[in-house]
Amino acid sequence: MVNSHLFTFLALLFLVLSPMSNAMKVLPKFQYYDTLKSYHVDKIYEVGDSTSDTGNLIRESPMGSLSPFARLPYGETFFKNATGRCLNGLLMIDFIALSAGLPLIKPYKETGANFTHGVNFVVAGSTALPLETLAANNILSPVTSSSLDVQLDWMHSYFNSTCTNQTDCAENNGNSLFMVGEIGGNDYNYALFEGKSIQELEDMVPQIVGTIANAVRRE
Ligand SMILES: *[C@@H]1O[C@H](CO)[C@@H](O)[C@H](O)[C@H]1NC(C)=O
Ligand SMILES: *[C@@H]1O[C@H](CO)[C@@H](O)[C@H](O)[C@H]1NC(C)=O
Ligand SMILES: *[C@@H]1O[C@H](CO)[C@@H](O)[C@H](O)[C@H]1NC(C)=O
Ligand SMILES: *[C@@H]1O[C@H](CO)[C@@H](O)[C@H](O)[C@H]1NC(C)=O
């Protein structure tokens, strides 16, 4: 799902962070803190799945609010509370925001959140393919219906509501970082859990890859 370089990057970050984790009352200073500042990124937007959800799944549905990610021990080390992140610590989008000298990017579903520096549209458990496409292949998406196309719709209506015209929008987002994914892993997970063969999974690859590529173009 995530390539090996990213895993190495994260593993290194966690190694750097681990000695300080008990005293983590404020945002952590880590090796790459502010190192992206020279790129002048001032907004981050992301779509994806559990590798980057900062709190949408637990807010979007009763089922999400009952998920383990809405409860300790998730979040106990850094946030002293569950945030909806599907891990105890920080996610890639968090490290990237901190590296860019920005505050952590809030989830779209957080009421009244400050989106000055971007929005996280990611939903844990989501798929790259729309639910209807999965259903046509007899695959059920059991966690959320907010697949990639839904997250992109949210993004578009967000921009529609925040900028008056295209020039305005382009200007507002001139220094924005758009992150697509990781997404698509759950399409294969659900297919496997629901008894599809490896051959059937392989047959899904072009459609999933095509959907993600189109999402990048649409963004
Ligand atoms: C802790 O997290 C839960 C679930 O995300 C939230 O409802 C609650 O308001 C949070 N509590 C504090 C003190 O932030
Ligand atoms: C939102 O955040 C920005 C930048 O962090 C800050 O300047 C602004 O005052 C905040 N807005 C509100 C309403 O808190
Ligand atoms: C964009 O906003 C306008 C005015 O608020 C609204 O009429 C229109 O339906 C919106 N378009 C989309 C795609 O959300
Ligand atoms: C776009 O919106 C901005 C901000 O409201 C405004 O200043 C500008 O004149 C508009 N441009 C066009 C082409 O409508």
Residues 41-50 pLDDT 10s = 999 999 999 9
The 10 Å Cβ neighbour count of residue 114 is 8
pLDDT band at 164 (very low <50, low <70, confident <90, very high): confident
Report residues whose beta carbon is within 6 angstroms of any ligand 4 atom.
164-165, 167-168
pLDDT band at 87 (very low <50, low <70, confident <90, very high): very high
Contact 49, 185 (CB under 8 A): yes
Tell me the pLDDT tens digit for each residue of 190-199. 999 999 999 9
The radius of gyration computed from the CA coordinates of the chain, to the nearest angstrom, equals 18
* pTM given for the model: 0.85
Query: What domain count does the chain have?
Result: 1
Tell me the pLDDT tens digit for each residue of 99-139. 999 999 999 999 999 999 999 999 999 999 999 999 999 99
Query: Does the Cβ of 114 fall within 6 Å of ligand 2?
Result: yes
pLDDT band at 27 (very low <50, low <70, confident <90, very high): low
**Structural domain for 38, as ranges:** 5-218
Nearest Cα neighbor of 24 from 61, 78, 76 is 78
Query: Does the Cβ of 160 fall within 6 Å of ligand 3?
Result: yes
